[in-house]
Homo-oligomer: A and B are copies of this chain.
Amino acid sequence: MARASGCSVATVSRVLAGTRPVGPEIARRVREAAESLGYRPNQVARALRSRSTGTIGLVLPQITNPFFPSLVREVEHALHAEGRAVLLADCDDDPTIEAARITALLDRQVDALLVIPVDERHSRAAVAAAVAQVPLVLLDRGCGPGIADSVATDNTVGMTLVLDHLAATGRRRPCFIGAAGTDSAAVERLAAYEAGAGALDPEAPGRVELGDFSLEWGRAAVDRILPSRPDAVVCANDLIAVGALQRLRQLGVDVPGEIAVTGFDDIPMADLADPALTTVRQPVRELAAEAAHLLGHRLAEQKDGPRRSVRLAPELVVRASSAPRAASAPDPGTTRTAEEDQ
């Protein structure tokens, strides 16, 4: 390669990396030679020398969780646009596996880590250890206070959007089906419901059932919540909401005629449920972009800036499951977004 262009390897390196100015004539020769020889620089050697692999580790609980694929997609695209590559680690929802995967990624000299922790508490040690070695940003879920940079959806805003919408469409007796976990999604969504539901009905903050983030729990919780005669079921995520929808249908309850149902996340299934589910759409692309930005910042600047915690506001997606009682349920194919409401 150096021979072919009639100059030294150093010059070749400079032309390709653009590190230092090079004469226009010789630069052209180098580029031509690279072209005709089909030369591709070896990223491994480059990484060894420059101590930077251009590789980011993405650690997530379970790729089969329906909320993650779109997030992974956006992260992959955002990072690739910066010329970085993504090493994927699926943890099977197990903090032990998570710790092992993080170690494996660190051994491979990833430049940084993007972690969606499995568990608020049990992931902390592994994350803390990793933070000491490379820039790390927590995505979507927290992992203890101020342990690392983090990017997540603002759950409080989301829940407020839901409650405001229910109030505006005439619902007065909401209830909440949530999750008992200690993670930010469970805690913040519950807190926001309790804080906001009182405006609709002083009793509403008390109508709460806590289980986990599953379809099964959604189905089971309906039976426990129904005796309180709610006119709206606010669910902590879409899985719970779809489960609730299934059980309500089974019991012959009219949604949205008798009861409105809302979810959170806007997973693909939300649009396909019958009736289509009103929910809160997380700003997935922006979450990914912000995470990539934070990583870039940590990689460029000195490693010791103050911890940043970014919260992004979600968007309400109004669908059939919360249509006002006056109107009959519209065609399931029809959806309106928050913008269109304005």
B-binding residues in A (CB < 8 A): 40-45, 47-48, 53-55, 58, 62-64, 66, 68-70, 72-73, 76-77, 80, 85-90, 92, 101, 103-109, 215, 219, 242, 246, 249-250, 268-269, 272, 274, 331-333
Contacts and interface: CB of A to CB of B under 8 A. Distances in A.
Name the residue in A69, A70, A242, A269 with the highest tally of chain B Cβ atoms < 10 Å from its Cβ: A69
A35 to B, nearest CB: 14
B72 A88 contact: yes
11 contacts: A42-B107, A43-B109, A54-B108, A55-B87, A64-B268, A73-B90, A76-B88, A80-B101, A87-B88, A215-B272, A246-B332
A44 B40 contact: no
A104 B85 contact: yes
A114 to B, nearest CB: 12
A272 to B, nearest CB: 7
B80 A73 contact: no
A105 B85 contact: yes
Contact of A72 (B90, B105, B242, B272): B90
A69 B73 contact: no
Contacts of A66: 268
